[in-house]
Each structure stands twice: as C-alpha cells, then as structure tokens.
Structure 1
C-alpha cells in the first residue's frame, strides 16, 4: 500500500548544493566560496550579467549535470522511503536534460516512480497533479510558492535559502532528518 506521494527536487536537494561552484569559478575566473553563495541566482553570486551566465550554462549544462555528487545518505533514505511511498522527482531543469536526468538517477541507484522535467521553477501545478503530500526542495521561492498553495515543504538548508519560513515549511539539514520527519508523518496518519 502506498502511503505518501513524495515530490522531490533534484539540484541542491538530492545533489550537493554547490556542485557548480568550482566549474563556474574556473570558467569565469572567480574565487567564490560556498559561504558567499547567499542567493539562488548564480549570476548575482558571481557578479556577472545574467546573459553571460545563461550562455555559459547552455554550453555546459550536460557536463554540469552529468556527475553531480549526491548529498550524504540520499540513496539509503530514498530506498527506504520508496518501499511504501511514491517518489516523484519534480525539477526545474531544462527539458533537454530529461534523458540525462533519468540516466543519472538510474546510475546512482536512486529509486523513483516518475520524473518530471518542467523547464520552469513553477512546481505548484505538478504537485497538485501528483496529489503531493510533502515536497522536498532547496529553492526558497519554490518553497514559498508550494507552501502558500497548501503543500508541506521540507526545505534543505543552504546558504542561499536562509529566509523567514511560514508554517508549511520546515527547515531540515540532512536526509536523516527528512526520514525522521516523514516517518513521524506516517505514524500520525496511521493513528488517525
């Protein structure tokens, strides 16, 4: 029996939040540290025009997303969660990255029911379509949109999302904490 529909972002959520930093520093001849990444818009962090960053990204997006390191314990936690829950990846990645993203998830033994590559940061409609019970995210604006639409959001802590949260958002620091929260939710739902 499926208990929860869990929607999960990919970049910065199951992967290291700063995977792009070394590549960008080398390309743009900058020396930005993780601590300096205090906003989500990478071009602002690097101090460059958005158009320059977009040009760089479009030339390098397949390389950037091919081998991102995973966050600690992601594989084990998702394996446990997938036993009794539906796992849906909902990413803002460009649609041209669909096949690469499927390959990446399979190569890293990440279990999932389906993948939705939206090409947009607006995830509310897809969360509604999937009857999402909980959404795991790292982007603050996405978390606000989802939580305002009534979804429970677990926001993985990063230097770029430390802003005021509303009652539907819980800040988490790692995947073990995510697992504990979801297990409590499951116990509460069974008790009702």
Structure 2
C-alpha cells in the first residue's frame, strides 16, 4: 500500500525529551536548573555561558547526550501508530558524524522510520522541500515559523519554555504527543 503523506520530524526536543541536556549542564557547569529555567533556545544566552566554552563542552558531550536521551512522553506510541499510514522522515540539526549514534538510538528505542537526515544546521527547509514533506514537527520556534511560511505546510510546535514567541496560524502549538495525535488524525481524515 502506497502511503499518501510524509511527515518531517525533528529529533531533539521533539522526539527526545526537551530536558535531555539539563542533567549534563547541571553536572558540568555546577548549576541547578530545570527546563523551565531555559527561556531561550540559544543556551549560551539562556545560561550566561561563554559561546566558546559551551561549544567545546557540547562537542565532547553531544554523542553521550544523544545516545542516552530519554524519549518524549507518548512519542513512541504515536509515531508507531502513524507509521502504518504515513512515511516518517526524521530531519535533525544534528551533525552528520552523529548518524551512527542516532540510528542506534532509534534501534534501541524500537522506533521505525523511513528516512533519517542529519542536516548539520537548523536550515531544514531545503531538506523538507526536497522530500515533499506534508507536515513538520519541531521544537525550535524560528524553524517552525520558517518551515510553515516557506513551504506552506502545517507545523506542529511542541510547547517548551524556550519557544514562546507568537506564531502564525499554520504553526500549531501542542503540549504533548497525545494532543498532536488528535490534531493530526483529524487533519489526515480531512485529506482522505
């Protein structure tokens, strides 16, 4: 059976829990923060850490963090339900050298996928366009807005403390994967 729709899905903060970095930041920078303390996507600004210091730290910790990231609550169940009817294209800003770690994480979590692309930057528009994505799932505010505006597709933006700027009508805020499932299932029925 040919699947009619293709979903573009960010990984970090979307499929993985948005607080995945917090324990590592607390331990290595001697902080005691929660996800609610992170009010900006750019962590160096949010935490007042020098960019070069954070970049060096992130280069070292990135593989460990990604290998051990917990899954966002409800993500697996919803994605596996959709997998029967739609293609799942995971499009992430992760750098390409992390592909094996990423693929291993999907294998360990038993999440099926049709395709994974690590873009190496937050510029996902070209990749989403190339693969004719019909709907996108994101946690980064400006990515969600630009994907919607450039591609004229709906974008599900998972609510976090760091993405609270206003959004246009085609960017739909969701608080959970279960909530997203209800919206998406209704949207899919409209297009059948």
TM range (shorter): over 0.9
Counterpart in 1 of 2:75? 74
Q: Structure 1-normalised TM-score?
A: 0.96
Counterpart in 2 of 1:184? 186
SS for the counterpart of 2:162 is coil
Contact 2:139 2:159 in 1 (8 A): yes
Q: How big is the shift at 1:33?
A: 2.3
> Which ranges of 4 or more aligned residues in structure 1 deviate by more than 3 Å?
none
Q: How big is the shift at 1:32?
A: 2.1
Q: Structure 2-normalised TM-score?
A: 0.96
Structure 1: which 5+ runs fail to align?
none
Counterpart in 2 of 1:156? 158
Matched, 1:89 2:85: no
Q: Provide the C-alpha distance between the structure 2 equivalents of 1:73 and 1:64, rounded to a whole number of angstroms.
A: 20
CA offset digits 1:116-158 (Å, max 9, x no partner): 0010100001111111110000000111110111121000000
Equivalent residue in structure 1 for 2:168, among 166, 169, 182: 166
Contact 2:7 2:136 in 1 (8 A): yes
Q: How big is the shift at 1:74?
A: 1.1
Matched, 1:23 2:19: no
Counterpart in 1 of 2:64? 63
CA offset digits 1:25-75 (Å, max 9, x no partner): 111112222221111011112211111100000111111111111111111
Counterpart in 1 of 2:134? 133
Counterpart in 1 of 2:35? 34
Q: Provide the C-alpha distance between the structure 1 equivalents of 2:80 and 2:27, rounded to a whole number of angstroms.
A: 35
Q: How big is the shift at 1:104?
A: 0.4
Q: Provide the C-alpha distance between the structure 2 equivalents of 1:79 and 1:129, rounded to a whole number of angstroms.
A: 24
Q: Provide the C-alpha distance between the structure 1 equivalents of 2:165 and 2:39, rounded to a whole number of angstroms.
A: 10
CA offset digits 1:56-105 (Å, max 9, x no partner): 00111111111111111111111110001000000000111111001101
Contact 2:74 2:177 in 1 (8 A): yes
Q: Provide the C-alpha distance between the structure 2 equivalents of 1:35 and 1:156, rounded to a whole number of angstroms.
A: 14
Contact 1:30 1:46 in 2 (8 A): no
Work out the number of aligned pairs and report it: 190
Counterpart in 2 of 1:103? 104
